[in-house]
Structure 1
Amino acid sequence: MTTINKLFKLMLAVGILSATSCDNDITEINTNPNGVNLNEANPSFLLTDVMVNTAMDIGNKGYSEPLSAFVQYTQKDSWGNNNYDWAGSGWESYYNNLRTAKLALQRSQELGFKFHEAVATILIAHNFALLTDFYGDVPYTEALEGDGEILLPKYDSQESVYKSVISDFEAAASMLSSNMGSLEVFGASQDIFFEGDAEKWMKYANSLALRYYMRLSEKDPGYAGAGVQATLAKPLIASVDEEAAVPYLGVGPSDSQPSNGKQGTPSNFSRVKPATTFTYKLAELDDPRRAIWFDAVAIPIKVVPAADVPGGEDDVVVDGVRYINEETLADNGLKIFDPATWYGDRQAGLSLIDTSSTYVGIPVSYQGSEPYTYNLNPNPVQGGGNPHVSLMNPQFNEVKGDYLKARIFSYAEICFLKAEAALKGWGSDAQGNYNKGVEASFETWGIEDQYADYIDNTGVAYNGTLAQIMEQKWIANFSSASEAYLDWRRTGLPDLQTGPFAKSTVIPVRFVYPTSNSTLNRDNYYSALNSLESTSHTNDVPGYIENDTPWSKPWVLQGVTKPW
């Protein structure tokens, strides 16, 4: 698999220029010799640009943006957003990406490049799918009409966008399959997803179709079930080697592991901490992936009887361990963290102490401000560090690494989708696919040799429930928070709850449209708001325009009971 490279931005321009004739007549004085003729652009380099932007968006949302806090993989103890008041991001970048992809599609069709046309179709459909995933109704049929033909595009219904992109995934896969023996070359250095392998692109398109049929499985089970059954009969991503996961190059911030501390400021890395929801679940399952994802806490805390505190003191650090006299807790408003009671304890004004000896996270929405004071931090200032809370594994402090990738579509996801489909009666072998999903995640992170011991653990050994499949899928999706969030929104699993200082008692279910839409495309914007369903939480937070809030339900959630 090739790597994301910020130089592809330059290569894009070079590629466009390289497709332009150098035999210009010097008498053509009205032609700018230094200009780029988009009508002669090289589709390979255009598609590279779209792939780079798509991968980086998914990678950033997967690890460093607040979606990771939404699904409780991480919390930031400084300069973060743990309280569920994030309105979302991506609108402009998605549409910028789509304009480039459309040009690539047009150029591919003009040149008769079927491979490039199929890839452009897949990338356009995927970016539109992400837009409707996060926002609801979006400009679609009129969105990419250029040359000033449609300046104020209408918003298409979320239902029509979802079903159109699924159709496009299927059409692209069919185009590749039917032309497999006669496709033009797509250079490996330009195709950063699959290095010019048309068969992998076909499997990827089919896999995306399966993902989006399942996305509609609660809202429109008749349509989804028929589509899932038909898609399961087609070639899909079949191994970790075939998944869409692009390694970071590490040249600059635009192509490196998100929130690494080697570029910009070291606090980019140090302020990202594991969420207690995640650390306790992995500890409960005795999951070896925690050692891959987290670092051991620098100074663990032990709460012990007075007689066991070294030196007879109430609070002392000895040999790298902080000992606290248990008899002093109540008088100081302290209590040991308990997953079953911590929410109420915080509401009661207590400060909590986590006595986990190895991996210590931060509870979700623990306080109204940044939680850098958590766990009796001796240096409670923003950006000051905390020896009593774990950092992420040091690999995430690097700009690149063997396991640092923008994970766009994993083999583990395919396996869990198959397992879920089997439970619904749309496929077969739920247990086998569940086990393969867990194994694939272990292989992805380089610990496949520990899978055999793990799969029989209490809570891991297959029990035939959707809750267990979705729990393991949630774990496997670490660093792919977008898909974890959309899975949670569809199923309500795992049962994630906001913390005591969250903006609302429920997790948001959509992104808010950019404010510019309410002024520049006013009539169509307000029409789109009518398609959103107001809920009892819509007005939990003031300051939003009418129904355009993170707690208003788009079409895909209307009439269903999930996630709340």
Structure 2
Amino acid sequence: MKTLNRIMNLTLMVGALVITSCDDDITERNINPNGVNLEEGNPSFLLTDVMVNTAMDVGQKGYSDPLAAYVQYIQKDSWATNDYNWEGDGWEDYYNNLRTAKLALERSQESGLIFHEAVAMILRAHNFALLTDFYGDVPYSEALRGADEDGIDLPKYDSQESVYKGSIADFEAASQMLSNNMGNLETFSASQDIFFGGDAEKWVKYANSLALRYYMRLSEKDPSFASAGVQSMLASPLIDSVDEECAVSYLGISPSDSQPSNGLSGTPSNFTRVKPCTTLTYKLQELDDPRMSIWFDAVEIATTVVAPADMPSGPSTFLEIVDGLRYINTDSLASKNLAIYSPDTWYADREAGLTMIDTNSVYVGLPVSNQGTEPYTYNLNPSPVQGGGNIHVSLMNPMFNELSGPNLKARLFSYAELCFLKAEAALKGWGTDAEGNYNKGVEASLETWGLEDEFADYIDNEGVAYEGTLEQIMEQKWIANFSSASEAYLDWRRTGLPDLEPGPFARSSVIPVRFVYPTENSTLNGDNYYSALNNLEETEHTDDVPGYIQNDTPWSKPWVLQGVDQPW
């Protein structure tokens, strides 16, 4: 895939075209006297801007944003309590992208640029789909009409169903537009098309793959619609290799185009505060998964619990470090109110007020929502200071501390995801060869991280060798989606898999299922906002946390979850 090349210059060139409110008239707001007139905007530069911003949003949500903690890839040990105290973000960014995509679409149509027009349709549909993924009903049909002759300053919120199905229709229409004109398309410069280097056939496959993703997104809510769509897409060209996936390398010039939470473009603690989550570390250890060493760093000083007679300095010693290993006396556990961490018992132990000791000898993570306001104290940290270090908990692999690198990418759509979608569809009877596609998905994920030589051994491991269950497919898809947390989250929301639950210090006993609308929506577009709230379904958890407007809460169900058993 292409790197985020020339981003800074391109962004400056189109900066005047990025609008800050979905209710503004783009002909009257944010006028830059040194910018480009809207009528002169170059579609290529406009589309590059949308690609960059879409990739950075997916990348940020994928690695260190709270979504990565929601799906228990990471936890943070400072300035975040991992208790699901998050309302969500991205609303303004998505609408900024949509305004730029609309302008690119109009300029492409005016200039007869079919390739650019199709790409604009795909990017517009993707950003609308992301909006409705996270929020529910959103301004859609009237959202970008502030500059029309019948300009609408206060757009209605369209149903989530109409946004999903409208986006799918746009993916399919754009794919067909490109396919029908293949061989007669204008050039899209490789330096400007940072997704696919100007390769129209890859854009066709990407559009079809996105349509497949969103048909499957509706598979529980509207199975008849989803079934027909999935079967149609499975007969269409789709992403067919790791080389064809949409994964954009970080440029590493500024914080806005670098690996999220690196310690070089901000403060060192941006990196050190991000820790592996035990949900992931113990699952990878159980499966003997080689991706552990690629994603995590070995703990600086491991812990072992031994009988009194085996303490280096004698049976009366409680704790000591000898030759890089910390020893703890088993006789001290009860008196010190300690318990050894186990994935099966730790939650109950913490509810009982016990303090966890993690004896994993290589990769030590943080349990989800384990410590309340002081996660940096975990595993008897001898220097428990917010923002400080913890020699008894692993860091992420040092590569994540860099600005850029060969494995540091914003992964918008991986070949592994495509394979797991096909495997799941086959289990439903909508496709074929569930086992073959499952195996390809595992292999593709390993290849993505440079571990393709490990596949032959790994696929035979207990728990990895194909067993024919949805649980196993979704578990491996969850692992493969590491650094793509938004898709892992939306998969979990749709299927309830893997079986994730908040820790004992979370705000609610269940994981949230949506983002809360920006507060200003209740005043700037109040009538339409309050009308949209009527379409959210209250649940037994809606009132778990006070302070929200009516049922505009993270635990109110949008249309796609109403009448569906999952995720809770």
TM-score by length of 2: 0.95
Conserved? CA contact 1:298–1:387, under 8 Å: yes
Task: Count matched residues.
Answer: 550
The residue that corresponds to 2:29 in the other structure is: none
The residue that corresponds to 2:28 in the other structure is: none
The residue that corresponds to 1:25 in the other structure is: none
1:325 to 313, 323, 329: 329
Instruction: Give the 4+ runs in structure 1 shifted more than 6 A.
Output: 14-17
Moved more, 368-377 or 215-224: 368-377
The residue that corresponds to 1:54 in the other structure is: 54
The residue that corresponds to 2:101 in the other structure is: 101
1:181-330 alignment to 2 at 5 Å? 181-312=183-314, 313-330=317-334
Q: In the alignment, is residue 369 of structure 1 matched against residue 373 of structure 2? A: yes
The 3-state SS of whatever aligns with 2:50 is helix
The 3-state SS of whatever aligns with 2:412 is strand
Conserved? CA contact 2:252–2:404, under 8 Å: yes
| Distance in 2, Cα, partners of 1:216 & 1:9 | 39
The 3-state SS of whatever aligns with 1:489 is helix
For 1:141-181, what per-residue CA distance to the aligned partner results, in whole angstroms no more than 9, with x for missing partners?
A: 00001237111000000000000000000000000000011
The residue that corresponds to 1:173 in the other structure is: 175
Conserved? CA contact 1:15–1:41, under 8 Å: no
| Distance in 1, Cα, partners of 2:154 & 2:256 | 31
How far 1:11 sits from its partner (Å)?
5.4
How far 1:8 sits from its partner (Å)?
3.9
How far 1:324 sits from its partner (Å)?
0.8
1:470-481 alignment to 2 at 5 Å? 470-481=474-485
| Distance in 2, Cα, partners of 1:361 & 1:162 | 37
1:352 to 347, 351, 356: 356
| Distance in 2, Cα, partners of 1:84 & 1:233 | 40
| Distance in 1, Cα, partners of 2:162 & 2:353 | 48
| Distance in 1, Cα, partners of 2:205 & 2:287 | 33
How far 1:367 sits from its partner (Å)?
2.0
Conserved? CA contact 1:6–1:252, under 8 Å: no
| Distance in 2, Cα, partners of 1:416 & 1:489 | 16
Q: In the alignment, is residue 514 of structure 1 matched against residue 551 of structure 2? A: no
For 1:354-378, what per-residue CA distance to the aligned partner results, in whole angstroms no more than 9, with x for missing partners?
A: 0000001110000221300000000
**What is the letter of the counterpart of residue 262 of structure 1?**
L
The 3-state SS of whatever aligns with 1:543 is coil
Conserved? CA contact 1:3–1:246, under 8 Å: yes
| Distance in 1, Cα, partners of 2:289 & 2:552 | 40
Would the alpha carbon gap of residues 71 and 11 (structure 1) be closer, same or farther in structure 2, given more than 3 Å must change? Answer: closer
Would the alpha carbon gap of residues 537 and 291 (structure 1) be closer, same or farther in structure 2, given more than 3 Å must change? Answer: same
2:444 to 416, 422, 440: 440
Would the alpha carbon gap of residues 235 and 524 (structure 1) be closer, same or farther in structure 2, given more than 3 Å must change? Answer: same
The residue that corresponds to 1:117 in the other structure is: 117
How far 1:15 sits from its partner (Å)?
11
How far 1:33 sits from its partner (Å)?
8.7
Long gaps (5+) in structure 1: 18-31
2:551 to 531, 547, 554: 547
For 1:85-137, what per-residue CA distance to the aligned partner results, in whole angstroms no more than 9, with x for missing partners?
A: 21100000000110001000000000000000000000000000000000000
The 3-state SS of whatever aligns with 2:327 is strand
The residue that corresponds to 1:487 in the other structure is: 491
How far 1:36 sits from its partner (Å)?
2.2
| Distance in 1, Cα, partners of 2:121 & 2:459 | 39
2:159 to 157, 160, 176: 157
| Distance in 1, Cα, partners of 2:234 & 2:567 | 26
For 1:454-474, what per-residue CA distance to the aligned partner results, in whole angstroms no more than 9, with x for missing partners?
A: 001000000000000000000
Conserved? CA contact 2:78–2:386, under 8 Å: yes
How far 1:204 sits from its partner (Å)?
0.1
For 1:179-213, what per-residue CA distance to the aligned partner results, in whole angstroms no more than 9, with x for missing partners?
A: 01100000000000000000000000000000000
Conserved? CA contact 2:423–2:437, under 8 Å: yes
For 1:266-295, what per-residue CA distance to the aligned partner results, in whole angstroms no more than 9, with x for missing partners?
A: 000000000010001001101010110000
The 3-state SS of whatever aligns with 2:376 is coil
RMSD: 1.4
How far 1:13 sits from its partner (Å)?
1.4
| Distance in 2, Cα, partners of 1:221 & 1:33 | 52
How far 1:7 sits from its partner (Å)?
3.6
The residue that corresponds to 1:65 in the other structure is: 65
Conserved? CA contact 1:364–1:498, under 8 Å: yes
**What is the letter of the counterpart of residue 180 of structure 1?**
M
| Distance in 1, Cα, partners of 2:240 & 2:347 | 42
Would the alpha carbon gap of residues 167 and 264 (structure 1) be closer, same or farther in structure 2, given more than 3 Å must change? Answer: same
| Distance in 1, Cα, partners of 2:16 & 2:98 | 17
Would the alpha carbon gap of residues 341 and 163 (structure 1) be closer, same or farther in structure 2, given more than 3 Å must change? Answer: same
2:433 to 429, 443, 463: 429
2:565 to 558, 561, 564: 561
Conserved? CA contact 1:55–1:408, under 8 Å: yes
The residue that corresponds to 2:24 in the other structure is: none
For 1:241-289, what per-residue CA distance to the aligned partner results, in whole angstroms no more than 9, with x for missing partners?
A: 0000000011110110000011110000000000010001001101010
The residue that corresponds to 1:337 in the other structure is: 341
The 3-state SS of whatever aligns with 2:339 is strand
1:449 to 448, 453, 471: 453
Overall identity of the aligned pairs, in %: 76
Conserved? CA contact 2:14–2:46, under 8 Å: no
The residue that corresponds to 2:414 in the other structure is: 410
Would the alpha carbon gap of residues 304 and 6 (structure 1) be closer, same or farther in structure 2, given more than 3 Å must change? Answer: farther
| Distance in 1, Cα, partners of 2:374 & 2:423 | 39
The residue that corresponds to 1:530 in the other structure is: 534
The residue that corresponds to 2:41 in the other structure is: 41
Would the alpha carbon gap of residues 483 and 34 (structure 1) be closer, same or farther in structure 2, given more than 3 Å must change? Answer: closer
Long gaps (5+) in structure 2: 18-31
| Distance in 2, Cα, partners of 1:318 & 1:15 | 58
| Distance in 2, Cα, partners of 1:536 & 1:472 | 31
How far 1:9 sits from its partner (Å)?
4.9
**What is the letter of the counterpart of residue 201 of structure 1?**
W
The residue that corresponds to 1:461 in the other structure is: 465
